[in-house]
Each structure stands twice: as structure tokens, then as C-alpha cells.
Structure 1
Amino acid sequence: MKRSIFLLSMFGASILYAQEKDSIQNEDHIHLQEVSITEKLPITVEKLSEKFLQKKNLGQDVPTLLNSATSVSITSDAGTGIGYSSIKIRGLNEQSINVTLNGISLNDGESQGVFWVNMPDMVSSASSMIIQRGVGTSSNGMASFGASINIDSQNPSPIPFAEANVSFGSFNTQKYTVQAGTGKILNNKLSIDGRFSKINSDGYINRSWSDLISYNFSALYEVNSKTKFRFQNMFGREQTYQAWNGIDGETLKNNRRYNTGGEIQNEDGEVVGFYKNHTDNYTQNHYYLSWLQDFGSNWKSNLTVHYRKGKGYYESYKNNRNLSRYKLDFLSSDKRNLINREYLDNDFYGFNLDVENQKLNDFKVFFGLSGNEYDGDHYGNVLWVKDTDWNNKDFKYYNNRAVKKQLAAYAKLLYSIGRFELFGDLQYRYVSYEARYLKNGENDQEDFRPFSDKFNFVNPKAGVNYKINSNNVFYASYGISQREPLRVDYSGITRNDEKPKSEFLQDYELGYKKSGRFSMSANLYYMDYRNQLVPTGELNDVGTPIRKNSKTYRRGIELDASYAILPERLNVFGNLTLSQNRNKDYSEGSWDNDGNYSVKKYGTTKIALSPDVISSFGFEVYPTKNLLLNFTNKYIGEQYLSNTEPADGKLSSFLVSDLLIRYSPNWLNLKKLEFSLLVNNLFDVQYESNGYYSGGGYYFPQAGINVLGGISVRL
């Protein structure tokens, strides 16, 4: 069976998955042309158009909508792609992926991850996404340590419109979206768009429900053809039931939908119920104000100031907990069941300045400068303690603050000489990161210790294009990227008093791109890491992977292609990644019962949660002009849950198929009327997409066959 799946994947790779090259609706985008030229640079890049993104947009998160892109693998805590979901590219998760919205970083200042659940239905306001694999080209935000995802939001429509989208599906999933735009008003100078979305789902895993709300407001004011201002406010609010514990192998066999989160246990450790408010609650509000200026002589600039406010908490039921951890050891017992909250209250603000000239003789030049600060307060309190009269909800059993300041600058140059294009890119990045206790906030039993670090990173990149003609290009590139540790990495130093080191990457890419009716790309890559912080396989108590420094490499070949057998009627597509992801000399330390620390060496091992084979393939057909059938398959090879390659900690390979049917009749002179039916996991495969290792394997099962149906109307 596995051999058949692998051969099928190889076949899929011979026919690509090149995404549609649709033009963006509004050409007067607030971004500079640097965004559009990214596809033409000597880097490994893939563009996902608005049409592609909206095709399956029936309520699932961004990672699920990007699942068919090259070298991408995804997972979902709830098993449905709604709620907490994440994406990996080349085996690297969001902590190594630089994600930006209109050039502004979406990565969290401390975890460096992206929490898509905080931005539900963001795709409904996106015009395109560009995925750069490898180091790519310098951009704002954190360092790209494996890939970049650059998201462009839609500009306000130049013509008035109103649109409604409604979706329903399995697990009581519901999505409601309404959008409207004024078109150009005030002497054609101002245009305003707004969107409101609400998404609910019970989830596949027991009690993994999601209650999500978001809105997006954008306004474009065109003073004249040279000067434009754009304002955007993007808001998201999420409440989800915690489902990040996973289940062990035995439970997986007997009850794969079981969720240990919220268990209420009696004195004998027996589960007697579940706490209904064992939830994650978070609100995030983004504000962007941009000034786009054309100075003449092809010099253009874009200055954006931004502010993001985030605040929320985990509310959790804890069984048989040591009260000393919560500074409550003055109560009558050492251990009690209790309910606590862990808060995060943060602000992120700064500016980005980009300047370009793409017609400076044979040169195209780009400059950028950005500065930002992240201030994050972390604190916790206890709401209830069993069999006590505790009611001091304002008492903080831990209280600390982190401040992270960044300053970055880059310069890029593209020079054309004959059939060659030479590309150079130099980035400087300064990071100051400090975390300390606040007044009375010390707690030596919490997973936190004060720390302070500063970094100066210089990241050069270079590449060359060789154009056989406009449709056939060979390219090669080399780049360096360096990155600071995360908060969770500093938390681990209490185990062996070894401070985490900053990471260093050298990335080599060699590729070929062909466009046309038959489109394809192929590239070889070698990513050589020094002190990469790799997941050990363990998680902390809020589901974050624990990591340690290791010398590693990732190397492979990526193929993708598509062929329009019958233009505008039948298209076949596929992509394939074959890779090796290895620790060069892996070791792990441990403490024995006598307090002695020892190190065990494992030598060359596979990096945890990094599949060697990733593939997507299928076909798209229009039986009639208004009817679309899209059949897409996704194959992921086996993965170890730990760098020690444990026999009892492995994710099996899987092949999952999705079918999309979309009908767009021309009724009632509507601008758009669409009926969609999406059947996920068509053949009801039982599989697990993620896991961790803690004395044995723990797994995150995904849903079997499930459906989503939707109606979209635009006036």
C-alpha cells in the first residue's frame, strides 16, 4: 500500500501544482512593486492568487487553505482545520516562518509563531499570498529561518458592492461573512470596504469547539495620482476549548476523539466530569496607517505605522496540584484541585519604510528601514481551590514582563546584463530582548527565569537569473539568516544551566522555472544550520514545543508542474518534495535520582516532525462553463516524534483526498452567485498529523470524511 501511495505521489509530481496567475483586481495596491517583482527574483517562490484562496474558503483556517502548496504540511488541534491550526514548510513550523500582512509582521514577539485562530476568516480580505521557501529575500519582521509567507490584503473596491457568504457543515460548523464597499466617493478620492465574519464549530475532537469573530475595515484616500493614504483595522476574537494535550497510543486505538483537557478527577484519580470553561480566550486588534508616495523619476516610497493590541487568557482546571506552585501553600493542604487563569497582555508597535526605484538604468533598487517594540505582561491568578474558601482573584502567583526591541535595515539591488540578472541583498537586524519579574511576581516554580540578551545580525543574500527566454529561467541563490532564541528556549536553561544560542543558517538554492500552458518548476536546496533550535518532542504545559540547539541540515528536491490539457476546461497538477532532514550529532542530557546530570549521544538522527516525502496532486475540470470539479490529494511521509527516533513515537504516512464542487449560475443578473460543496477526506482515512513524545507517543487525530457547503452572493 505504501509503495502504491509513493508511486502515485511520484506521478503527481510530474504534473504540477502551479497556482493560478490571476491578476489582482485592484492595480493601485498600497504596496510598492517590490511585492510583484518577488516572483521574478532568483529565489524559490510560489504565488497563490485571490481566486485560488477563495476557492475553498468555507470557514477553515489559512493553513488548511494552503495545504496543497509545495512542501507544505498542516495540522489542526480540533481535527477540522478550524480553531488552533498550524502550517509547516519544509518541516519548519511558524516559529521559523516570517509571516507578514502588507509588509507588517504577524509573528508573535516572543514565541515567533503565528496564531491563525486570532485572525479568523482573514482570507476573505486577502488578495494574494506569496510563499518564499528557504531564506528568500529580506523583508520586515522576524528573520526568515525556513520560509516566508507574505500576505497582501485587498484594497477597497473602486465600485460599490455588497456580498454575503454562508457555510454549513459537519461538526455543526457554521460560517457567516458579510462584506460591503462604498466604491469611490468624495470626488473619486475615498473608497471604504468593510467585512464581518463569525465562525463556529464543535470540532472533531471532543469539546474542541471554536467561537470566532472578526472584522476588517479598510479605507483608501487618493489625494492625487502621486499621493495615497490607506488605513486598515483588522480585529479578531477567539474562544476555543483547549485541545492541545493529544492522546496516547492506547487511547488512540480505543477512542481517537477523546480529549483529556478539562478532566475533573476525584481523590482516586478517576475522571468524574469535565470543566466547561477549560478554554483559551484571546482578542487581537491590528491598526495600520500607510502613506504611499510617488516622488517622480520612478522613486516611490511606502511608510506604514502600525499598532497591535493583544489580550487574553487560558482558563484551566488543574487536578491534584501542589499549592506551593501557586503561592498558596499557606492553605490547609499541600495538593488540591483548582482553577487558574494565565494571562497575556501585550502591545506591538512600530514603523516600516520602503523605498524603491525599478527603472534606474539597468538597475532596480530597494531600501527598507523598520523599528518596532513588543511589550508583553504575563501573569496568573487562581479563581477557585477545592474545599477552601479562597476568593482572592486579584492575587497574582506569577507576574513578569518581556520587552523586545528590534531595528532592521536592508538594501537590495537587481542588475540586468544580457540574459543575466544579478541580485544582491544585505540586511542588518538588531534585537534587544529582556524579561524580568514585576513587583511581587517572583515564582521559582514557574517555567520562567529572568534573562537579557542583545543580538546584531548581518544577513547577506545573493543570486542570479539566467533567462533563456521570458518563459524559461534558471536561477541560483545563496543566503544567510540568523535568529534569536524564543522565550520558551530561555525557560529551558534551568535544566542544565546552558543558555540557548542564536541560530545560524546558510541556504543554497538551484532551480528552474517554466511558465505557459505547461508550467513547471524544479529546485534543489541545501539548508545548513548551526545551532538550530529543534523540537525535542516534548511540550510545555500550554502545548508549546520544547527545543534545544543542534547542528542540522535539510536538503532536498522540489518539483511542481501543471498542464492545461484542455485550456479553461481540464488541468492536471502536482508537486513533490523529497528531502533529508537530519541532526548531525544529536545528544540529550538528563538528571538521575541522585541529582547527577549525564549526556547520551545518538549521532545522526532524523529531525522530529520533518517528513522526508510531501506531495500534492490532482486535477481540475470544468464540465460546463459554470461547473467546477477539483480533486486534490495530499501525501505526507512518516515522521518521528522525537530526535531520538523512538519506535513507540512515530506518525505513519497518510494520503488524504478532497473533492470540491462549485456551481456558478448566471441568475438574476448578480455579480456573483456560487454554490460550493467541499468533501474533506473523501475516503475516510484515519490519520494523525501531529504529535509529541513524553515517555511514549502522543497524537493529534484528524477528522474522517466531513463536508462543508456554502452559498456566496455578490450584488
Structure 2
Amino acid sequence: MKRFLTTGAALLALSGPAWAQGPVSGSVTDARTGTALPGATVLLDGAAIAATADGTFILPAVGPGSHELRITFVGYEPIVRRFQGQAAAQQIFFALQPAGVLTGEALVTATRANERTATAYTNLSKEDLAKRNFGQDIPYLLDQTPSVVVNSDAGAGVGYTDIRIRGTSNTGINMTINGVPLNDAESHGSFLVNLPDLASSVNSLQVQRGVGTSQNGGAAFGASINISTLDNRREAYGETQNTYGSFNTWKNNVQFGTGLVGKYFTFDGRLSRIVSDGYVKRGASDLKSYYFSAGYQQKNTLLKFITFSGREKTYQAWNGVPEPAITGDRTLLQQYIDNGELSEADAERAMQEGRRYSYYTYDNQTDNYQQNHYQLHLAQGLGDDWNLGAALHLTRGFGYYESYRARRRFTDYGLQNVIIGGDTLTRTNLVDQKWLDNYFYGGTFALNYQPKANDKLQATVGGAWNRFTNDHYGEVIWAQYASNSNIRQRYYFNDARKTDYNGYARATWQVLPKLGVYGDVQVRHIEYTIDGVEDDQNDVTTRARYTFFNPKAGATFTLREGQQLYASFAVGQREPVRSDFTDRPAGDQSAKAERLNDLEGGYRLSLPNSTLLGPGTALRVEANYFYMNYRNQLVATGQLNDVGTALRTNVARSYRTGVELSGFASANDKISLSSTLTLSRNRILGFREVIYDADYTPIVASEARSTTISYSPSVVSAHTLEGQPLKGLRLALLYKTVSRQYLDNSTSEDRRLKPYQVLDFRLRYSIYPSFMKEVELGLLVNNVLNRRYEANGYTYGYPDATGRQQTFNWYFPQATRNFLASVGVKF
């Protein structure tokens, strides 16, 4: 900082009379991803000043007359701008194009959207994530992006968390890390609890809403989240972040990097630990992770090995809290007791613990899982206009959840009844473990055509081949009466194998100076087999094959500089999830693949130096319309299998349609306001609910009707007001609103989540002592207004003796007012 001020003073002295000198500020970003380029070199009339850590720069005083501003950054083409010095403040923004020297981002741009692909997306840089990162999971760091709703099993954002985008759960959100699929191949979900503190190693992240561009792995059936950890820091560094907060929450990590070693090599690493007792009683989490990368880089070659791993132990909070524990309704509580949902003792404890109630009391009722990732990436320049990105990957996952089971039949576990004296015992208390043991491996590639001389046409050909194997089995590790069991008695086993490969081709063509077109086609093939029995001793043998053709097309039209219209149409298709096969009778493969036709259109306005708001201001506005038309969407209708497990059934027609509005305005980096608002309508057409009479005979609704899709709020908004009253001190208010959601597809007012509004407060204060790069103090106060709300839940029901339906709702209450305080140090 002292060097920066000294250089600024020298420029000031040379530029002319002091009364005519004005500041010049700006930012440096990647032209294709919009991410900041920290450390870029800024030269004013030949004198160098390094950009700050977040990719911005400021020249405190620039004299009158003509000046040249030159920006350089390794791996990018330099850019030069001339401007006139003036007394008023000026802002100049630079978007650099990648050059012949390849960077890590070259490996993920093939699957990312940009202003040419006519889709709705949000880019978040490392700095964007860092200011939100106090140790909560990635979904909570995305809470302020459009159409996002998040929740936490334990109530405070640590442990099992979930994200929905446009009402689509994480099973319909494609997630990739450096272009490598993260979604579980069978459930289609992404369990970020297995990768705690991943956000600390993320270099950039893009959220695409809708089908978006072609991705590797599972279908983007509502959104995709593309994560890049491919940072390229050429100077040595050391950092540590430490957080403490409510519910005995701790986060500690250390990060390091060697910078360039021997001109060609870089090494980076991170160790992290996050623990929390959770808002919910016995909702504890103990999470550990590491990240390490080793890179080799020459002008046209980048080779990078990355490994990262997470190990989690979380107390099971996934049962939620019964409704009467939240409302205090003892009449309703008795209904839970009478139907066996709660014992007398559990019911009394539920009323005592209230909304922080936890169903389980066994001291090791925990989920234990470890996931190790290994990736080898190659980016190779092929002449001036071509480059190749390729990766090999292996993910190793293994773990179990342990449960205490009361009064279980011996025969359910393959055991004989026990005879004691003249009594025959048919049941026992026991503890079992349900295991997963899997491997996921394969390769991805993308060949990119990106001409330097004429960028009217850009094209990519890419694809992936992936293989997943998974053993599912259960073991009895303790029983009150052992019967004829052995140590670790295995009572079920099935193995699954899934092969998934795809190829795609994408191109953008600037037909006219203002008109661009976009095309993208993908062919994806899946083969899925299961052999063996499930825990209910049901034969789950499965043989399924699918081939999908997913075309996409769009167009953009530039109204004037900074203003763009766009429209696109895309098709997405996906196969049923594992439970759609295993929860049905043996051999029943009636669940069909789902199809989504996605129409998007919108308007973008981007004014880096807004004449509307005045000098030194920035303005961005986007309005996006979407119509997502589903065919054969799999939804819960109330139908059960022979053991009472809910089945998903294909419905012929359903849709989501709405408008997403977002805006951002800032003034001289002193104050900014960002807002998003989603208004949507989410419907199933021709829905027929299935209920059961007193004899458990299914009754299908005779009249079809239009109903609201479950977990799909019609209004979602997020607003962030941030200011910098003092240098280095940033204060922010974050406000989130979510309208009513239904727990199932019946649109019943008895089965819903109430609307909620949440206000958070964030403080970040940075100081720059002479003996280190930076010390940052942070404070996050969640739910400042101390609202009591539930962000997730589930429902089911039974008929009573008279055939009257009884409903049982379970909710996941979120934490009341709580805090996280942090100290970060950079060397």
C-alpha cells in the first residue's frame, strides 16, 4: 500500500496543477466469464501500479490532458485505453480476452454461458464468495442470487443443506467441479456436506438457470452450478480464516501457495475443519477437508493435478420436527401418538424441546461419509485459434449411517426367532449400519475454436465418458438378542453400475454487428443396472438404457452499447432416479424418462460508468422470462407401494413460468444496492391425487385438476444494501423473502410452509499492517429480526378407522437470531 501511494504521489506531481487533478478507478475482469483478475498490472503513461486483490484499482489523482492506461495480466491480451484527465472522478472498466498463454479458466469455459449464449446466468468471483463465507455451506453463499431458496437440516447452514432454484431441487441441478460431474449418479443429488469449506478453494462459480448450455453428467433440469477451483496465483501466499459463532460453531482453515517455482510449477493447498452443535438439539456436525493442487505451465501448455477430500460426521437431523412441537397443539400431538408416529415419551420430549426437537436420542445416530476426488487437467494451445481442455477424474466415496432400531423382526434381517424357555421372541432391539461403497471415474474433453483475428465465430466440440459403481449393503452391529447372527451380520446387498457418456457441439456466430446466433446439440447415453435385494428384501434387479438428443438454439441482439435482447430454446431430458426403480415391485420399470422444453428471453443493461446516475456510478439491470414445459415429470401423487413407501408417478403435463428481475447500482464503491425478484407460476395439469381408505384400498381422484408443484414459491426476492462508510469497512444488510410453499402436490392448506422474510447483517473490516498483507475482521448476524420460520418439510397421511384422512407434517425449523464472527489473516 505504501508503494502504491508513493507511485500515486509521483504521478500527481507530474500531471499538472493540483486543482485540476481527479481520481480514476476501475476494475479488470475476464471478458468471457466476468470474473475479477486480481493482481493485473495497471500502467498509467508507462508507470506501473498493481491492481488490488479484488481486481479493482484506483489512481488517486490524475492531471489534465491525454493519458494512456495499459492493463496486462498473464494469460490475457493486453488492452490500452486513452482518456482525458479531469477534476471529476472517472471510472474505466477493462474486460481482458484470454491470450495464447492458457489459464485454468480455459478448462471450464466450454460449459459456461456468456453474453452470446442467450441464457440466464449469474457469475460469482472468488471475492464475491469470500465476503459471504463464514463457514456455512455453498447453498447459503448463493442465497442472494435469483430464484434461489436454501434450507438446513440442523437449522444453521452447517451440515446437511439444500438448494432449490426455480423450485427445482438439487436432484435437478447439474453441478460440476472443473467440468467434472459432482451429482450422485443414482440419486442425481449433490451432497456438498461431503466437501466442507469447498468455497474457500473456489476461484469462480456460475449459476445457470433453466436448461442452459450442455453440461457433463446429469441433466440440468432446472439449473446448473459450474464450480472452478482452477486458481492461478503466481506469487507465494499464506492465509488463515477462523470463525466462531452461535451453537458452538467453529471454522478453522489454513491455505498456502508457493507461487511460481522454477518458472513453471505452482503448488497450492488448504486444510479445513468446521464443527457445530446445530440449532436443532443433537444436530451436531464434525466436518474436515483438504485441497491440494500441483500445476505445470508453459506458454501453450497447462497441466494440473488436483485432489480434494471431505469427511463428515453429522448427527441425523433429517427426520425434522413434528408439527405439534412447533405449534404446541396437544390435540394434534395425540393424533401423532395414536398413529404410532411418536411414543408417549417422544411426544413429551417434543413438547419440551419445541422447534429444536430432535427425534433421535441414540448417542451414535450419525451419518458418516468420506469422499476423495482426484483430477488431472490438461489445457493445450493448438496454434493461434484452437485449444484443447481435457481431464481424467476419479471420485472414491464410502461411508454409512448408523441407527438404533427398536423391536425389529428377526426375519427382516434374515435371522431366526429366539426361544427362551417356553417363549418365542420374534423381535429385538438392534443397531444397524447402512453402507455405500462407490467409485466414479472417467474423462472429459473440450476442443475450442477461438480465433484471435476475428471472433465472429466461436465453437466447441466436447463430451465425456463416466462410469459409476456402487455397493449398497446393511450390517447388524449389535442386537439385544443375537439369534444366529454373525459379527457384522449382513442382511442385504445390491450393487449398481451406471455408464454415462455424451458428446456435444456448440457454436456462436456474430451474423451482423448487432445480431448473434447460438446453437448447441448434445447426445447423451445412459446404461444402468442393479442386482441384488434392498433392505426390505425386495429384489431390485434393474436393466435400463436411455439415449437423449438435447438441442438448444438462441439469438442475441445489441440495441446499443451495454444493452442486449436475447432469446433461446433448449431441450433437457433425464432418466429416473434410483428410488424410481427400487421402491417398485421387482421388475417394474414403468417410470419414464422426463423431458423439459425451456424457452427463455430477456433484456440486459450494463453501464459500467452510468451517465444516468452520474460519474463514478455503475448500473446493471436484467429482466428474464422463462417458460419451462415438462413432459412426463415424475412427481408424488400419494401412491404407495406394498410396504407404504411413497412412489413418484409420471404426470403428462406440467410447467413453470415466470419473470426474473435483477438489478445492481453502485456509487463510487461507497454504496451499492442489488435486488432480485422472481414471480412465477408452477403447475401440474390434470393431476389426480391418490388416497387410501380404511382398508388401504387406493382411491384415485376421479376429476383431474390443476395444482401447484410442491416446494415452488410463487414469489422469491433477495436484496443487498452495502456501504463503505470508512475505508476498509463494509457494512451490508441482506433481506430475503419466500412466499408460501406446499409440501406435496395436493395444494392443501394443511400441508404447507408459511411465507417467511429474513434479514441478515454483515460487517467486514480490513486493515493492512506493515508486517502482513491483510487482517480482516468479520461479523455475520443471521435472522436479525429473530423470526421463527421453517424452510423445508415433508408430509404423509393415513386414513383412520372411519376412512378420514389424517395428515402428519414434519418441518425443518431454521435458527432464530444467531451470529458468526471471523478473523482472517493474509501473509
TM-score clears 0.5 = yes
Deviations 1:423-456 (A, max 9, x none): 000000000011111xxxx468246621110001
1:457-501 Cα shifts (integer Å, max 9, x gaps): 000000000012341110000011110000011123239956111
Mapped partners of 1:58, 1:328: distance in 2 = 49
1:306-325, Cα deviation, whole Å (9 max, x unpaired): 00000000100112223322
Q: 2:577 aligns with which of 474, 479, 486?
A: 486
Among 452, 455, 469, the alignment partner of 1:375 is: 469
The SS at the match of 1:185 is coil
- What is residue 152 of structure 1 aligned with on the other side? 228
Structure 1 residues 361 and 60 mapped into 2: Cα distance closer, same or farther (>3 Å)?
A: closer
Shift of 1:31: 3.5
User: Is 1:73 aligned to residue 167 of structure 2?
Assistant: no
Shift of 1:24: 3.8
1:90 counterpart = 2:159: no
How many residues matched? 678
Corresponding residue number in structure 2 for 1:421: 516
**1:422 partner amino acid:** V
Please tell me whether the aligned partners of residues 718 and 736 of structure 2 are also in contact (alpha carbons under 8 angstroms).
Answer: yes
Contiguous gaps of at least 5 residues in structure 2: 1-32, 39-73, 76-101, 334-339, 350-359, 420-424, 608-617, 798-807
Match of 1:445, SS state, is: coil
- The equivalences for 1:168-207 within 5 A come to 168-186=244-262, 188-207=263-282
Distance in 1, Cα, partners of 2:444 & 2:822: 38
**Is the 8 Å Cα contact of residues 156 and 181 (structure 1) preserved in structure 2?**
no
Query: Residue 534 of structure 2 contacts residue 582 of structure 2 at CA under 8 Å; is this kept in 1?
Result: no
Q: 1:268 to 1:245 in 2, by over 3 A?
A: closer
Counterpart of 2:781 in structure 1 is 679
Q: 1:534 to 1:82 in 2, by over 3 A?
A: same
- Residue 406 of structure 2 corresponds to 319
What is the match of residue 646 of structure 1?
748
**Cα separation, 2, equivalents of 1:703 and 1:342:** 30
* The one of 789, 794, 812 aligned to 1:700: 812
The counterpart of 2:602, out of the listed 492, 495, 511, is: 511
What corresponds to 2:568 in structure 1? 477
Instruction: Confirm or deny: 8 A CA contact 1:212 1:236 kept in the other structure.
Output: yes
- Aligned match of 2:821: 709
Measured in 1, the distance between the counterparts of 2:131 and 2:736 equals: 17
What secondary structure does 1:413 align onto? strand
Aligned to 2:627: 526
Shift of 1:611: 0.6
Query: Per the alignment, do residues 58 and 448 of structure 1 end up closer, same or farther by CA in structure 2, a change over 3 Å counting?
Result: farther
Give the drift of 1:247: 1.8
SS of residue in 1 equivalent to 2:428: strand
2:640, 2:154 → 1: CA distance? Answer: 17
Return the offset for 1:363: 1.1
Q: How far apart are the structure 2 equivalents of 1:706 and 1:537?
A: 38
Map of 2:436 onto structure 1:
344
Residue number in structure 2 paired with 1:3: none
Which residue pairs with 1:624 in the alignment?
726
CA contact (8 A) 1:214 1:234 kept: yes
What is the Cα deviation at residue 219 of structure 1?
1.2
The aligned residue for residue 552 of structure 2 is 461
Superposed structure 1 runs of 4+ greater than 6 Å apart: 537-540
Which residue of the partner structure matches residue 637 of structure 1?
739
Which residue does 2:121 correspond to in 1? 45
Offset, 1:39: 4.5
Q: What CA distance in whole angstroms lies between the structure 1 residues aligned with 2:210 and 2:745?
A: 22
Is contact 2:243–2:823 with CA below 8 Å preserved after alignment?
yes
Whole-Å separation in 1 of the counterparts to 2:597 and 2:281: 43
The structure showing larger relative contact order (alpha-carbon pairs under 8 Å, at least 6 residues apart) is: 1
State the Cα distance separating 1:249 from its structure 2 match: 1.3
8 Å Cα contact 1:379/1:400 also seen in 2? yes
Give the corresponding residue for 2:680. Answer: 579
Against the structure 1 CA distance between its residues 310 and 490, is the aligned structure 2 distance closer, same or farther, given a 3 Å change threshold? same
Q: In the alignment, what sits opposite 1:210?
A: 285
Q: Deviations over 1:523-554 (max 9, x none)?
A: 110000001123458999xxx98533222100
The letter for the 1-side match of 2:365 is H
Q: Deviations over 1:39-69 (max 9, x none)?
A: 4421111111111101121110001111111
Map of 1:533-572 to 2, 5 A cutoff?
533-535=634-636, 547-550=648-651, 551-564=653-666, 566-572=667-673
Name the residue aligned to 2:65.
none
Quick check: 2:415–2:483 contact (8 Å CA) kept in 1?
no
**Which residue number corresponds to residue 99 of structure 1?**
175
Matched residue, 1:615: 717
Question: Which deviations, in whole Å up to 9, do the C-alpha atoms of 1:86-133 show, x marking residues without a partner?
Answer: 100000011000000110100001001000100000000001110110
* Match among 514, 526, 530 for residue 435 of structure 1: 530
Change (3 A) 1:412 1:401: same
User: Are the equivalent residues in 1 in contact too, given 2:194–2:310 (CA < 8 A)?
Assistant: yes
Is 1:134 equivalent to 2:210 in the alignment? Answer: yes
Question: 2:281 is paired with a residue of what secondary structure?
Answer: coil
Displacement of 1:35 after TM fit?
A: 5.7
Superposed CA RMSD: 2.5
C-alpha distance in 1 between matches for 2:117 and 2:681: 26
Report if aligned partners of 1:383, 1:392 keep a CA contact under 8 Å in 2: no
| Structure 2 residue identity aligned to 1:406 | D
Identify which of 297, 300, 325 aligns with 2:384.
297
Structure-2 residue corresponding to 1:244 = 318
- In the other structure, the counterpart of 2:41 is none
Contact 1:43–1:509 (CA under 8 A) maintained in structure 2: yes
1:291-344 CA distances to partner (integer Å, 9 max, x unpaired)?
111010311001100000000001001122233222224345222221110000
Larger radius of gyration: 2
Deviation at 1:268, TM superposition (A): 7.6
Is the 1:466–1:473 contact (alpha carbons within 8 Å) kept by the matching residues of 2?
A: yes
Q: 2: distance between equivalents of 1:294 and 1:67?
A: 37
**Residue in 1 that maps onto 2:50:** none
Q: Which amino acid aligns with 1:190?
A: F
CA separation of 1:670/1:587 partners in 2, compared to 1, >3 Å: closer, same or farther? same
Q: Distance in 2 between matches of 1:167 and 1:537?
A: 44
SS at match of 2:552: strand
Change (3 A) 1:672 1:568: same
Give the aligned partner of residue 615 of structure 2. Answer: none
Return the alpha-carbon distance in structure 2 between the equivalents of residues 621 and 447 of structure 1. Answer: 59
Conserved in 1, the CA contact under 8 Å of 2:390 and 2:445?
A: yes
| Cα distance between partner residues in 2 of 1:444 and 1:75 | 29
Residues 452 and 571 (structure 1 numbering): CA distance in 2 closer, same or farther, change over 3 Å?
same
Q: Which of residues 439, 449, 452 is equivalent to 2:543?
A: 452
Q: What amino acid sits opposite 1:707 in the alignment?
A: F
Distance 1:609 1:463 in 2: 30
Cα-to-partner distance string for 1:24-44 (whole Å, 9 max, x where unaligned)? 448553242436663442111
Q: % of aligned pairs identical? A: 38
2:119–2:568 contact (8 Å) kept in structure 1 = yes
* Cα distance change, pair 545–43 in 1 and its aligned pair in 2 (3 A): farther
